[in-house]
Structure formats: structure tokens, C-alpha cells
Structure 1
Amino acid sequence: VARSSGRHFEEISAVSAGVKEVRAVISAARRRLGASGEETILFIDEVHRFSRSQQDALLPAVENRWVTLIAATTENPSFSVVAPLLSRSILLTLEPLGDDDIGELVDRALTDKRGLDSRIKIEDEARELLVRLAGADARRSLTLLEAAAATALDSRAPAITVDHVSEAADSALVRYGEDEHYDVASAFIKSMRGSDVDAAVHYLARMLEAGEDPRFIARRIMITASEDVGMADPSALQTAVAAAQSVQMIGMPEARIILSQAVIAVAIAPKSNAAYMAIEKATKDIRDGKSGPVPMHLRDAHYPGAKKLGHGQDYIYAHDEPYGIAAQQYLPDELEGARYYEPTSNGFEANVTKRLAKVQERLKMR
């Protein structure tokens, strides 16, 4: 870009540079612009490595057009780049390489003089494994190829085999940046919610292999058990809580078995978000100013003088009533008749629906 536009080019790596280096480049760019009118393109690699203060130091230069900033990051910029800088930028997303692209790169590296210079070949199955282990990462594919080739050449093998690739890789390294942490966690939760047990277990394994904290995973399972299963199968939350406690006591690698059981239980359970929707509706009313005073008969009456204020007067003790249901007003006057919990007909909640209808009928008998 700099060469085609006739501009000066400067490059900084956020891994090793700090605010001092950034300011020095910007100062030189200002002098150059003022003295000769020559503009500067500043390229910053791994910009997500810069702290917030370091990124803020770039703002004046960008706003005043002292430099044209081009920054590269392997992380999601929505999480790794400060909002003021991001709002002044054009975001270009480079899509992952496909298997054919990685395969072509491997083939070229085998024959190119800058690579292995045709000193060794690779078997088809080994090539397929290497491409798969690379996970759309060109750099990783070359690293694996180099290591596998070194092993094969040391053993005087005529070609790189599956065993050579496996030995070089040790295990499939899961590509997992901060943005993928959120993407995989989101897919994990949505798979449990959508009742796709196989997808849910896949994403569980993916997170564990990437080194995700099993306690984080356990928390996601507990939340899903309540938010998306709820009263359709109350035992799902019990299973999720038991799994979370077991993970704390046992740890990895055995904790993966417990997490798998909990994930399967939540994924195959009947679904209901009625409990989630109930608290959402109630919270909205509170935030909208709909609350009102607590009815007098429900107020605390245990302290001296409370009865003189009318607290607890005419309160009906539920256990003295038929079926243990006391027909009296519970909600504030302003919310009388409000309905927050609306059970579904899914799973156990179908029984709850029938019971709730009977309870509500008795509550009206006051």
C-alpha cells in the first residue's frame, strides 16, 4: 500500500514496542509531513497486545491524520481494540484458509527451494492428517510439516507418514483465541438449548482440549439447566450443580466425564424458559416503576408497635387453610392480577401447569 501510494512506511510490533516507540514514530511522521508533505503509513502487528493506554496514544495521530494506521490482530477487535480507535477504523476480516489452501501450501513447501526442496515426499493420508491438524492455520501447517519432515529424514524414510505427523503434533492443537472462546461457548450453550446432544458434547470436548477452565464450563451448564430447562425437568439443575461440585473436588482429567454426563442430561431434557421469562417480566415491571407498597397484612409484625401500625392485621396463615393455600392478596395493589410465571406443557412442567391452575382458582376465593 505504501509503495503504490508513494508514502513512507513504518512498522511496529505490539509484542515488543511500547508507548515510547509509538510516540517516536508519530513524532517523526509529523516532522516528515510538515517538512516535505510526505505521508506515513504505520503498520502495527498484533495490536491487541497493546494495553488500553497504549492504544489511546494512537488516537491523536489517527484523528489528525499524522499517520494512516493499518493494524493487524488475530483476536476479535470488538474485545481487543478500544472503542474510540475501532470507531475510526474500517474493519476488514480475513477469513480462515480452507483445506485446499492449506494443502496447496504444504505441496509448495515440499518442493520450493525455500522449503524442503523436494528432499522428501508425503503420503496422502499423512497430508490429510497434517491439513486437519493445521486447523486453517498456515503457520501451524508449516511448523508441523517441518517437524514431521525432520523426523522422517532422520529415520531415512522415503516419505512422511501418518506416524511422523502424529509424532510431530503430539496432539491436535485446538485453535482458540479470545474471540473463539466466546464463539465456542456460545455454540456450546445453544447446542444444549437446541437439544443436539452430539454437538453439545463436541463443543465440550473442544473447550476442554483448548484448556478451558472446567469450572467455567460447569457454570455454563448450571445456567442453561435453569434458563432453558427449568421446571420442565427440575432434576437437570440438580445434576448440573452436582457436576460443578464434583469438578471442584476431582479436577481434570476425570472431571471431563462428569461434565459430559451433565451436558447430556441438560441437552436431552425437555425444555422450558418459563422461569427465565418470569424473572425478566417481573424485573421489567420493577424497572418501569411498578412496585407499590407491600400489603399491610403481609408486613413484618414481630416488633413492638408493629400491630398499632396495622402490620400483620388479618393475615391468614396458609397452613390453617384447606390444601395449605391461603386466599388473600399477596401482590401490591398496583400489580394485582399480574402474571409472571406462565408454565409450558413440556415435561414435568405439564404437571405444574395443572397444579398452578388449581392454586390460582383457590387464591381467587377471598
Structure 2
Amino acid sequence: MMAEETLFSQNQRVLPPLAVRMRPARFTDLVGQAHLTGEGKILNRLFRNREIIPLILWGPPGTGKTTLARLMAGLAGAEFHEISAVTAGVKDVRDLIRSGETNMSMGKKTVLFIDEIHRFNKAQQDALLHAVENGSLVLIGATTENPSFEVISPLLSRMKVLKLQPLSSEELETLLSRALTSDIILSKYSLELSRENKDFLLRNAGGDARKMLNTLELCFKMTLSRQSGAKKLTISREDIENALQEKNLLYDKTGDYHYDTISAFIKSVRGSDPDAAVYWLAVMLEGGEDPLFIARRLIILASEDIGNSEPLGLTTAVSGFQAVHAIGMPEAAIILAQVTTFLASAPKSNAAYLSIKKSQDFVRETGFQNVPLHLRNAPTSLMKEMDYAKNYQYPHDTGGFARQNYLPDQHAGLPVYNPTENGYEKYIRQRLKHLWPDRFDSDK
């Protein structure tokens, strides 16, 4: 083994990963998020004034959420604490609140950065409310999920939500060049990366700086091992592909494999194959996917692909989401498996989905039409004099149904909902054919 490799191996035992080593130490070193850090923008003003406020940083992985929190705390002279919502509990939060109260009594601010704050349950989030309100903690939460759905309203109302964007290829390339020339390890070597391979690496990073740097570091290790003793190293396309296939890099919440896997999962449920659906569910959970993300997709699928062919589908999916939210992993996997197998085994119909799409398209094309007079409410005598509600037939006076026009006059014959013969929709179709025979002429 060459001296350079020995030095590298020793350094690797004490140095943090490349993505951490390259974390900007100054505001001027930040790359990306110009809509927040540019001249006159909110983070620019906060940094210039050395201010810090409670924030929710919402955006994909590798876009600088942790970096921004650390820089803000440092410039404000605050004590910085970082925890992960995956591993921390209420006791950890309460200990940090006490520390914050002590610091506040001495005139010092305390920043609590919670990564993946969307994974905190309601009780854990409730525990933070008073500390955020009285200022003993300046809370900065990082989330990849829409905080409107995952952060309780009382906490959300006390914090400013900032949306971070994936980094562009140009921004990623700036970070890549910086790593190659200034990192304590990589800068000791002459790393060659062709334009084509560089573009391939940037494209597969998916706007995630951490993923790009982790991939680069792994490529460097592979290349160094293969080209032992060389100071000039060439990273090949095969190196990049192999690095991307490593388990810790393969399943990434913003990468291609993430989208490919959720697509395979949804298509397996839609295709009524519970075995395949559970397989892709297992892949996502083993890859660290947020179970609530999966549960939300199942709710959408229950309406879009099953609808009224199995009305219990939506009820099951919503109940599953609530149960996953309350229980958390690892037991949430059992709940997701139950919902997945039920929906995969259910009869399928997209009739409800098509009905709203057709109606929306129709409204966009024709605009808003007047409400027929007989369908309007008539709470005043003047409205009655203007024939509001005149000739309206109350269905319960005629056995539960009255054949009258409920659409604008211009669209009286508009057909949009076309239930299938699958599952419960077969009964719905038979009933609608009886009530509205003219709309089902094609069945005759």
C-alpha cells in the first residue's frame, strides 16, 4: 500500500464525510437559494443584521437546510443544538428547553435545529410551543414534507416557513469544482472527470448537493483503489454508476430511484398485484422512505384508481394514514401492508377521477354559467318575486328522486360520470341508468 493511501485511510478515520467537510462556513460561501439569500431577500437581511427567528426550512434533501441553520446560529452568537426527529423523544426536547431557559437567564440565545421535524408526533411538537413562544428556544425545523400537513397549527403560526429549491446543475457544478480544488483530501490529487461524466454525475444528483458529494467521494475511493499510487486519477462513467448503486446512495428521496420505486408501487396496486405492491413497499421502507409519504399516495390512489367500485377503499386509506401518523415506524409497516394489500385486491375504477377532470376541462372551456332559477335559494320575498326556487321539486316529496334539470340550461345533457361494471359501481350504474336513462343510451 502506498504512503498516499495510508495517509488517506488514516485521515478517513478522523475526518467527516466530504459533504460535511465542504459545508460553507460563511454566508458568502453559500451556493443556491438566491430567492432567499439574494440582495434584499429575507435570509440576506437576517444574516446582515445577525438576527435569528423561528423558521421552518422546507425543501428536498441536500439543499442547505442544516447549513443555513448553523450559519444563522453562529452569526447570532447562539448556542446550537441539533437533533433528529427520528431518534429524539420528548425527554430530549425538555432537557434542551431547560438548557435554553438557563441560557436565556444569562442573556444568551439557544438554537434548536430539528431535522425531519415532520416526524415528530403531536405530543412532541406540543412540548415545544411554550419555549418557542417565550423565546427560550429559537426553533429551526427542517422538513422535506409540506409543513401545512405535518406541523401542528399552533407551532406553525409561530414560525416563518421558507421553501428551498433543488440546486441547479450550474450550482452543483460550482460545489463540485470547489470540492475538487479545496477539499483537504481531494485537492492532493489531480482528478479527471470528462464533461460527459460530469454531466452524468450532476444529472443523477437531482439537485441534491449532499448526494453529489457523497457520490464523488465514493468514486474517488474506487478510483484510488484501482489506480494505486497515482496522483492523477480518472473517474469513469462506470465508477459513477457503481457509486450510485451503493445502498446508502441508491434510494434517495429526490433521486430517480425514488420516483421509479413509488411509480412501480402505485402501478402494482393499480394493477391488482398485492405481492408486487408489498415488495415495492418493502423497498421504500428499507430505503428510509417516510411512511406518511406512502400513506398519502395510497389515499390519492384510493379515489383515483378505485373510487366507488370499493367505497371502503378511501376510508381504509385515510384510517391507515391516521394510524401510521399515530404509531410511527417500525409498526407502521404492518398498517401500510394491510392498506396496500386491501387496495391492490379491490376492484378498480377511475370513473370518479375522470368525472372531475372532464368537468374541470369543460368549465375552463365554457366559463361559469348562470345557476338555473329553480336551483337558487329564496330566503327573501324579493327573491321569491324574482322566481328564485320556483318549480323546484323536493326529491323527498316524490320518493327520494325527482327528474329535473340540475345543470345550467346550456349544459343540460352534459355526461361526465360513467361508472364501470366493477364492484359496487355496477350497482351505481344500474341505479343511474334507471334514474337517467337518456345519459346511458349507449347501453341500449
Q: Which residue of 1 aligns with 2:420?
A: 344
Contact kept, 8 Å, 2:270 with 2:305, in 1: the verdict is yes
1:337 deviates by 0.7
Say which of 329, 332, 343 aligns to 1:266. Answer: 343
Contact kept, 8 Å, 2:358 with 2:416, in 1: the verdict is yes
Contact kept, 8 Å, 2:169 with 2:203, in 1: the verdict is no
Q: Which amino acid aligns with 2:207?
A: S
1:203 deviates by 1.2
TM-score (norm 1): 0.57
1:231-250 correspondence to structure 2 within 5 Å: 231-250=308-327
Once superposed, what is the RMSD of the aligned Cα atoms?
4.2
Q: Secondary structure at the match of 2:250?
A: coil
Say which of 250, 255, 258 aligns to 1:175. Answer: 250
Q: Which residue of 1 aligns with 2:242?
A: 137
TM-score (norm 2): 0.48
Say which of 25, 49, 55 aligns to 2:171. Answer: 55
1:232 deviates by 1.1
Higher relative contact order (CA 8 A, sep 6+): 2
Contact kept, 8 Å, 2:310 with 2:423, in 1: the verdict is yes
1:137 deviates by 3.4
Q: Secondary structure at the match of 1:279?
A: helix
Distance 2:357 2:330 in 1: 37
Q: Secondary structure at the match of 1:305?
A: helix
Query: Is 1:315–2:392 an aligned residue pair?
Result: yes
Query: Is 1:80–2:80 an aligned residue pair?
Result: no
The one-character-per-residue Cα deviations of 1:48-86 (angstroms, maximum 9, x if unpaired) are 98845963998xxxxxxxxx96644656569539xxxxx
Task: Pick the structure with greater CA Rg.
Answer: 1
Q: Which amino acid aligns with 2:298?
A: I
Q: Measured at CA, do residues 293 and 211 of structure 1 come closer, stay the same or move farther in structure 2, by a change above 3 Å?
A: same
Contact kept, 8 Å, 1:48 with 1:77, in 2: the verdict is no
1:1-366 correspondence to structure 2 within 5 Å: 15=22, 51-52=167-168, 55=171, 71-72=198-199, 74=201, 76=203, 80=207, 114=228, 137-138=242-243, 173=248, 175-177=250-252, 178-179=254-255, 180-322=257-399, 324-361=400-437
Distance 2:244 2:361 in 1: 50
Distance 1:77 1:261 in 2: 34
Q: Secondary structure at the match of 1:306?
A: helix
Deviates more, 1:183-192 or 1:301-310: 301-310
Distance 2:438 2:396 in 1: 14
Q: Which amino acid aligns with 2:321?
A: A
Q: Measured at CA, do residues 140 and 298 of structure 1 come closer, stay the same or move farther in structure 2, by a change above 3 Å?
A: closer
Identity rate, percent: 40
Distance 1:52 1:189 in 2: 29
Q: Secondary structure at the match of 2:272?
A: coil
Distance 1:15 1:80 in 2: 16
The one-character-per-residue Cα deviations of 1:278-317 (angstroms, maximum 9, x if unpaired) are 1111011001025421110101212452212221111111
1:19 deviates by 11
Distance 1:184 1:52 in 2: 24
Q: Measured at CA, do residues 213 and 296 of structure 1 come closer, stay the same or move farther in structure 2, by a change above 3 Å?
A: same
1:16 deviates by 5.8
Instruction: List runs of 5+ in structure 1 lacking aligned partners.
Output: 1-12, 24-46, 59-67, 82-104, 116-135, 142-171
Contact kept, 8 Å, 1:278 with 1:341, in 2: the verdict is yes
Distance 1:363 1:138 in 2: 58
Q: Measured at CA, do residues 290 and 249 of structure 1 come closer, stay the same or move farther in structure 2, by a change above 3 Å?
A: same
The one-character-per-residue Cα deviations of 1:182-219 (angstroms, maximum 9, x if unpaired) are 22111111111111211111111111111111111101
Q: Measured at CA, do residues 186 and 263 of structure 1 come closer, stay the same or move farther in structure 2, by a change above 3 Å?
A: same
Instruction: List runs of 5+ in structure 2 lacking aligned partners.
Output: 1-18, 32-61, 65-165, 175-193, 209-221, 230-240
Q: Measured at CA, do residues 74 and 294 of structure 1 come closer, stay the same or move farther in structure 2, by a change above 3 Å?
A: same
Contact kept, 8 Å, 2:169 with 2:202, in 1: the verdict is no
1:264 deviates by 0.4
The one-character-per-residue Cα deviations of 1:221-263 (angstroms, maximum 9, x if unpaired) are 0111110011111111111111011111111111110000000
Q: Secondary structure at the match of 2:366?
A: coil
Q: What is the aligned length? A: 246
